[in-house]
Structure 1
Amino acid sequence: MPQFFISSENIVNNNILITSKNDINHIVNVLRLKKGDKLILTDPGSLIYETEISEIKPNSIETIILDKYEPTRKLNIDITLAQSILKSQKQDIVIQKATELGVNTIIPFISQNTVVKLESEKDKNQKIQRWQKIAYESSKQCQRVTIPEISQIISINELIELNNFDVKLVCAEKDAQFSIKKLLLQNKENIIKNSRILVIIGPEGGWDDKELQLFRSKNITLVSLGNLILRAETASITAISDIIYEYEL
């Protein structure tokens, strides 16, 4: 069944009202659903509702709740991906795939070799809005119960000061202290439900030597993803997958 996100304020007794113009257009004109068809509606971070369309109006769709239950499609760990901003399509792919893999927060940041130049606050806000929309649509497609947060764009100096993580690692094609597998195994006994993990991925041009020194000075471990040199967007997907494999399966 198709899934859409709703707000708790749209739930009244045994009915849920869909009022988003984009969702109404998608349901009526793209999916061509009609009265009696079924939908999955999710209140982010709360419950999942199986519903049936009872009435379609120009500005709203009314549904009847058939069943509701706690979500199960979520990770037991809290992964944050910090991604040095990549060229448009590559960054879009990273956000889409990170969403599908269950990442909770995506932090876009600017490093020495970041190719993309965002000069104004307007440019930055437009990018964030675009990325948040991609995360929203990807969450619907893979039937997630939460939508990843795309944070404000920050500098690498701001990034290294972020705290409250149980594990912090940066993927580096050179000067790595451990393989990612070894680091994850070393920390496995300390990982419990909702443990917070920060994984940092660099730009297309790789890390500057001074940045690697900066990470080491803040005790952020440099890890290798193997003997091959990966594209930045591939490195993100690989690192997240490795974390899920070690801590979730």
Structure 2
Amino acid sequence: MNRFFADRKNIIEDQQRIFIDDPEDVKHIGKVLRLAEKDIIEICDGENGIYIGEISTISKGKVEVKIQEKKISDTEPPIEVTLFQGIPKGAKMEMIIQKCTELGIHSIIPLNTSRTVVQLKDRKDEIKKIERWQKIAQEAAKQSKRGVIPNVGQPIEFSDLEETLAAFDFAIIPYEKETRIGLKSLLKNKIGQRKIAVIIGPEGGFEEAEIEKAKEFGSVPITLGKRILRTETAGFVVLSTLMYELGDLGGI
């Protein structure tokens, strides 16, 4: 069944109606999928609520759906992982957002570090980037049947982590010079802990001073093995392992 997201303001439960007015979704429903009146679709409110509905009308700028059933999404993992991603070059950030959304990420925060090469020009450029990244998260959430659209936050500085990490049960930061603590051994003592922060450096990795600061902030440096992973790979590996060990990847 095809799934779409709708703004809460467009879900009118007392009238059993939902309006989809995103231009791309309207076009996709009518022109690409060639859905018609009386076809059944799923609509997600982005907050874990799922509505099964019958298309009642399709117009140029809007699709109206009659609600038949409401349920809670069962596709969200039991853990909330936030990825603090050192901003990489090119389209790597887009791929990271897409794949992490598929794997069940809760939120993604772009991170400026000492070795971050990409610099957003100004506030206008930053807003444009965030909107683009959020749209990618939404499309990936739709494709992977997520009940929640991961939030792509505003970029933060490395120093901002000190205050931000206080909200998490634990935080990990993969570092190529760490040889003692591995992710496997660390997670043995983390069963039942729900809010997790993962901090990934940009292409050039972290400076040693940043690792020391991260430790002061409460983060645990870990090794991911003897091979050096790219920035666009490291987050996937950590998230996949967390979902397998503490989440629902592979079933219950």
TM range (shorter): over 0.9
Instruction: Return the letter of the residue paired with 2:93.
Output: Q
- Does residue 102 of structure 2 align to residue 116 of structure 1? no
* 1:121-132 equivalences in 2 (<5 Å): 121-132=123-134
- Alignment-derived partner of residue 184 in structure 1: 187
Runs in 1 of length 4+ with deviation above 3 angstroms?
none
- Alignment-derived partner of residue 29 in structure 1: 31
- Asked whether the equivalents of residues 179 and 223 of structure 1 are also in contact (C-alpha less than 8 Å), the reply is yes
The CA deviation string for residues 90-120 of structure 1, in whole angstroms up to 9 with x for no partner, is: 1111000111111111010111111212232
- In structure 1, runs of 5+ residues without a counterpart are none
Name the stretch that deviates more: 71-80 or 214-223.
Answer: 214-223
- Alignment-derived partner of residue 172 in structure 2: 169
d(CA) in 2 for partners of 1:176 and 1:215?
17
d(CA) in 1 for partners of 2:184 and 2:122?
40
User: How far apart are residue 134 of structure 1 and its match?
Assistant: 0.5
* TM-score of the aligned structures, taking structure 1 as reference length: 0.93
- Alignment-derived partner of residue 198 in structure 1: 197
* 1:1-249 equivalences in 2 (<5 Å): 1-12=1-12, 13-162=15-164, 163-188=166-191, 191-192=192-193, 195-249=194-248
- Asked whether the equivalents of residues 177 and 222 of structure 1 are also in contact (C-alpha less than 8 Å), the reply is no
d(CA) in 2 for partners of 1:159 and 1:218?
7
d(CA) in 2 for partners of 1:219 and 1:14?
48
- Asked whether the equivalents of residues 107 and 152 of structure 1 are also in contact (C-alpha less than 8 Å), the reply is yes
- Asked whether the equivalents of residues 172 and 222 of structure 2 are also in contact (C-alpha less than 8 Å), the reply is yes
- In structure 2, runs of 5+ residues without a counterpart are none
Name the SS for the 1:211 alignment partner. helix
Instruction: Return the letter of the residue paired with 1:219.
Output: G
* TM-score of the aligned structures, taking structure 2 as reference length: 0.92
- Asked whether the equivalents of residues 161 and 217 of structure 2 are also in contact (C-alpha less than 8 Å), the reply is no
Change beyond 3 A, Cα 1:46–1:117: closer
Change beyond 3 A, Cα 1:203–1:176: farther
d(CA) in 1 for partners of 2:177 and 2:60?
57
d(CA) in 1 for partners of 2:180 and 2:123?
37
User: How far apart are residue 212 of structure 1 and its match?
Assistant: 1.4
Name the SS for the 1:65 alignment partner. strand
d(CA) in 2 for partners of 1:46 and 1:104?
12
User: How far apart are residue 9 of structure 1 and its match?
Assistant: 2.9
- Asked whether the equivalents of residues 92 and 134 of structure 1 are also in contact (C-alpha less than 8 Å), the reply is yes
The CA deviation string for residues 155-197 of structure 1, in whole angstroms up to 9 with x for no partner, is: 1111233111001110111135410111111222xx25xx210
User: How far apart are residue 5 of structure 1 and its match?
Assistant: 0.7
d(CA) in 2 for partners of 1:69 and 1:111?
42
d(CA) in 2 for partners of 1:219 and 1:55?
54
Instruction: Return the letter of the residue paired with 1:6.
Output: A
Percent of paired sites with the same residue: 38
User: How far apart are residue 36 of structure 1 and its match?
Assistant: 2.2
Name the SS for the 2:202 alignment partner. coil
